[in-house]
Amino acid sequence: MISYVINGGKELNGEIKNSGSKNSALPILATAILNPNPVVFYNVPDIDDVKTTLKILKVLGCKITRECDKITISSFNLKKTEIPEELMHRCRSTVILVGAIVGRMKRATFSFPGGCNIGARPINLHIKALKELGIRFTEKQNKIICATKTIRGAKLQLEFPSVGATENIILSSIYAKGVTRISNAAKEPEIKDLANCLKKMGAKIYGAGTSNIKIVGVNKLNPVQYKIMPDRIEAGTFLCGAAITHGKIRITNTNPSDLSNVLYKLKEIGCDISIKNNEICLKAPKKIKSISISTEPYPGFPTDLEPIFTALLTKAKGTSKIEENIFENRFEFCKELSKMGADIKINKNGREISIKGVEKISGNVVKSKDLRGGASLVLEGLAAEGKTVVEDAEYILRGYEKLDEKLLSLGANIKIINK
């Protein structure tokens, strides 16, 4: 069991470099399956979800070398088409590999993905869309087998702008016969990053970053070198860390425009924010103001930062409200925050919370239930009086690169222990 041990009460001050995006790196690594030529990716974060993805690629037959944030992959000898069940269960994003495998090999076998327990997150949208491209699905002994002779372009209308479903459609359509059109597509920056990487390989993708995406099938892809975008969720987490500890921070290697909604909310609580090129500077106020937040698909407020802002708002003056519109089980972490003195009430339908700011947060032993909820407990520990132990930190390691080292460099008193 891995835990973070935090002695709170220290301001976060200084400068850090933003890591590469987790939510962008995982689908971009999947593009290596489609491309039999060598591909080189830069700015790849050193996190557990990336390690899991690379293990799957090796099982499938890829050759991989890594030097710091640079990863070189060759899938020339790709032969296997089944994702091992144990690796599939480690993180939700493994389902993205299915579109790439069937896109190249016309066959894939997998089980239902795992990941954080923050809601049902069914993959029915993925399966429905791939079926419309001519891919057949059967279930056998808790495994899902998909196969086709030919993937054919189609007009697809998503019921919800699912990021994962949009990515799977794109990946499976690169070699399709004809044109694939996605209506109500996800518009997240990570979708645009995936498309930009594939376009650099020679794919024909239009409209990524909008609700209507067009993919024209091609016959081959070319070698590529590509730098993955910065992680906007990590940047938001550190900005909130500085705010909750009344510190001052500069974050480099960011895309401020991807965080416009988040920066607006930080200004609303009283933070002084300045932007210069790819840098964001934040100076925290002495008193944090209460606000209301409603999570929405991009360009709305990101659900991944909802737990982070919940921790921040436990120190606000007055009562804040947060409405969660993406995942139905996002608020499990609130019970752990309450152990530290937070005053949080969950309404009857479980989709909205009210947070009454308190003067004092006290250290305690708490448990991570998911990736972003676990990060919220770390932030609460940074602001708490006394010692906080955040157990089951394995969830946090899935998505944050060297979190303890970065916090230490900013003045936090934190260490990671492995029992």
Give the pairing of strands 224-227 and 39-42.
parallel
The verdict on whether 146 is a catalytic residue reads no
3-state DSSP assignment of residue 212:
strand
Query: Which of 62, 68, 91, 116 is labelled catalytic?
Result: 116
Q: 105 and 78 in contact (C-beta within 8 Å)?
A: yes
Q: 337 and 128 in contact (C-beta within 8 Å)?
A: no
What residue type is 359 in one-letter code? E
94: enclosing H helix or E strand? none
3: enclosing H helix or E strand? strand 2-7
Q: 390 and 350 in contact (C-beta within 8 Å)?
A: no
Residue with tokens 């009460």: 9
Give the Cα separation of 157 and 128 in Å (integer).
10
6: enclosing H helix or E strand? strand 2-7
Give the Cα separation of 41 and 70 in Å (integer).
6
Q: Do you know the residue count of the chain?
A: 419
Strand arrangement of the beta sheet that strand 319-323 belongs to: 292-294, 319-323, 352-356, 343-346
3-state DSSP assignment of residue 271:
coil
Helix segments in 202-290, DSSP class H: 232-244, 260-268
Q: Using CA atoms in the order 52, 25, 231, 217, what is the torsion angle rounded to 10 degrees?
A: -150
Strand arrangement of the beta sheet that strand 70-74 belongs to: 63-67, 70-74, 39-42, 224-227
Query: What tokens were used for 133?
Result: 């491209």
In degrees rounded to 5, what are phi and psi of residue 274? -130, 145
Phi-psi category of residue 265: left, alpha or beta, with phi > 0 → left and psi -120 to 50 → alpha: alpha
3-state DSSP assignment of residue 137:
strand
Active site residues: 116
